[in-house]
Amino acid sequence: MGNYKNIMKKIKKALISVSDKKNLKNLLKVLTKNKIELISSGGTYQEIKRLKFKCLKVSDYTDSPEILGGRVKTLHPKIHAGILSKRNNKSHIKDLKDNNFDEIDLVIVNFYPFEKILQRTGNHSKIIENIDIGGPTMVRAAAKNYNDVTVITSSDQYSELIDEIEKNKGSTSIEFREKMSLDAFSETAYYDAVISNYLNRIKKNDFPKKKIIYGNLIEKLRYGENPHQNAAVYSKTQNLNINQIHGKQLSYNNYNDIFSALTISKSLPKNSGTVIVKHANPCGVSINKNRLRSYQLALACDPISAFGGIVSCNYTINKTLAVALSNIFLEVIIANGFDPEALKVLKKKNNLRLIEAKNFSVKNLIRFNSANESILTQSEDIEKFNIKNFKIVSKKKPTKSQLKSLIFAFNICRYVKSNAIVLASQETTVGIGSGQPSRLDSCQIAIDKMNKFQNLNEEVVAASDAFFPFVDGIEKLVQSGVTAVIQPSGSIRDKEIIKFANQTNTILVFSKTRHFRH
């Protein structure tokens, strides 16, 4: 960070103003032992006094009282001149002397807990009052002047600071100050980003002139999609709301598949449904009410593709199901919970990753996709379907059971890479064609998988993520035994599709929305 010399800086005066008051005692001991004068304000001052350490109140230091109910405490020239002054600048030294200002060498500040307040209340006035002004201002000043000033922005950094001061007899190195400065600017940027996103969200401004993306590092991954790529996973919160309880470290591809599987699982009825995913595509889904049967039916859709995939169970796994799951090679098993006996069975496989995801929910937030220095953003495609989203356009009308199967198939279809075709029977997938440039090819793949793995006596329905541009796609499905089709409307040949459905006595339902997934 620049061409500064590798210099040590003695700390003589420290300003402490923290919302998070834990772990202060050991730090204060070290600062006091090294004869560092302490300045503080408000609740931090009270806490330091309670811990029986000497401390000067900011208002006494500046000879200016706290005003506006505490909104203005540290916003004072004596504070900021002491932080921002360059120690080797004669003009700065003279200005401090003429104004009877002292240098401040250490700033320990963390901000009002804006993010936590958002989680606790929707009261806008309370939220606004928890936007910190003085804290970020001091932190930015200290971080800018890292050549002379040390800045600490988290209680997690106290042990590092203690080690640095003890090692250097009351001083800090330029390397340490640089590192803390970088962390500090990241902290202020993150803090402002949370505020910006909150204000845009309440105004329903999803696409502001300047979009600020923020996240907490959850984990640096071994590598990305391939071993030569670097990777990490971030979250807008402090965790992903998934808990790994067994198995080796998750990879980039594991996370990608986990998020794909959970997005589908959480779209299914509460506490039901089994989803099997491979390479971010579902290869089997069933919402049969019997949980073991649900898994068996999902697996039967494409047992070859399921090998080395991940299973997401939108319910608690018991021992019986655990035994069945242990019979094939899987990378990851996700569930809302695991019975103790189920864990005993599954933990016998050392590398099998077990994920508890009962608290995971799919939020209707903005989705991001990046390329080079550009970012594509869009709202999520997760709205629950209801009857009003569809229109029956064929002469033959579906029964309630048929319509449920059609909507089930259409829901799964929107999570399959386009072009997507899903064949289903009794709310279980029986054939999936995904990711083909030709919709006709996707139809053929779904049919081939159904014929390869299924021996069906029940009727089969089909879903397409977009309209059929020609009759040949729906014709191929009907010839394979499909009795009902659901697809978005919008083709110039919709009337031809309807005519074909009526000629073949096929049920045809149109969706008002298309559901590509690229």
3-state secondary structure 274-305: EEEEECCEEEEEECCCCHHHHHHHHHHHCHHH
Q: Which CATH class is domain 383-511?
A: alpha beta
Tell me the percentage of the chain whose pLDDT exceeds 70: 99
- pLDDT at residue 479 tops 70: yes
What pLDDT band is residue 5 in, cutting at 50, 70 and 90?
Answer: low
Q: What do you get for the CA distance between the two ends of the chain, in Å? A: 41
- pLDDT at residue 167 tops 60: yes
Per-residue pLDDT reduced to its tens digit, 192-241: 999 999 999 999 998 899 889 899 999 999 999 999 999 999 998 888 99
Specify the pLDDT at position 501.
96
What pLDDT band is residue 287 in, cutting at 50, 70 and 90?
Answer: very high
Rounded to whole angstroms, the Cα distance separating 486 from 510 reads: 6
Specify the pLDDT at position 239.
84
Lowest mean pLDDT among 34-43, 57-66, 172-181: 57-66
- pLDDT at residue 69 tops 80: no
Q: Where in the chain is the domain with CATH 3.40.50.1380?
A: 8-202
The residue among 69 and 13 whose pLDDT is bigger is 13
Specify the pLDDT at position 311.
98
Structure tokens at 346: 């599954």
- pLDDT at residue 503 tops 90: yes
Cα separation values, 415 from 198, 225, 381, 394, 497, Å: 29, 20, 9, 26, 24
Q: Is the peptide bond before 419 cis (omega within 30 degrees of 0)?
A: yes
Rounded to whole angstroms, the Cα distance separating 62 from 149 reads: 19
Name the helix (H) or strand (E) containing 181.
helix 174-202
Per-residue pLDDT reduced to its tens digit, 400-422: 999 999 999 999 999 999 999 99
Please state whether beta strands 37-40 and 460-464 pair in parallel, antiparallel, or not at all (unpaired).
Answer: unpaired
Strand partners, 423: 431, 462
Mean pLDDT over residues 51-65, rounded?
Answer: 89
- pLDDT at residue 6 tops 60: no
Active site residues: 144, 279
Name the DSSP class of 71: T
Strand partners, 13: 37
Asked if residue 318 lies in contact with residue 342, where contact means CB atoms within 8 angstroms, the answer is yes
- pLDDT at residue 70 tops 80: no
Closest CA to 478 of 407, 400, 394: 394
Per-residue pLDDT reduced to its tens digit, 112-158: 888 888 888 889 999 998 888 889 999 999 999 999 999 999 999 99
Rounded to whole angstroms, the Cα distance separating 331 from 471 reads: 40
Q: Which CATH class is domain 239-356?
A: alpha beta
Specify the pLDDT at position 478.
96
Cβ-count burial of 437 within 10 angstroms (0-12 exposed, 13-18 middle, 19+ buried)?
exposed
Cα separation values, 344 from 319, 322, 323, 339, Å: 8, 9, 10, 9
- pLDDT at residue 1 tops 70: no
- pLDDT at residue 4 tops 80: no
Per-residue pLDDT reduced to its tens digit, 424-457: 999 999 999 999 999 999 999 999 999 999 988 8
Per-residue pLDDT reduced to its tens digit, 294-333: 999 999 999 999 999 999 999 999 999 999 999 999 999 9
Lowest mean pLDDT among 90-99, 223-232, 365-374, 386-395: 365-374
Q: Where in the chain is the domain with CATH 3.40.140.20?
A: 239-356, 383-511
Specify the pLDDT at position 65.
82
Q: Which amino acid is it at 513?
A: T
Specify the pLDDT at position 402.
95
Specify the pLDDT at position 7.
83
- pLDDT at residue 59 tops 90: no
- pTM of the full predicted structure? 0.86
Specify the pLDDT at position 455.
86
Mean pLDDT over residues 104-117, rounded?
Answer: 92
Task: For residue 412, count other CB atoms closer than 10 A to its CB.
Answer: 26
Q: Is the dihedral of CA 261, 262, 266, 267 positive or negative?
A: negative
> What is the homologous superfamily of the domain 8-202 according to CATH?
Methylglyoxal synthase-like domain (3.40.50.1380)
Specify the pLDDT at position 363.
83
Burial 344-370 (b: 16+ CB within 10 A, else e): ebbeebeebbbbbbeebeeeeebeeee
Tell me the percentage of the chain whose pLDDT exceeds 90: 76
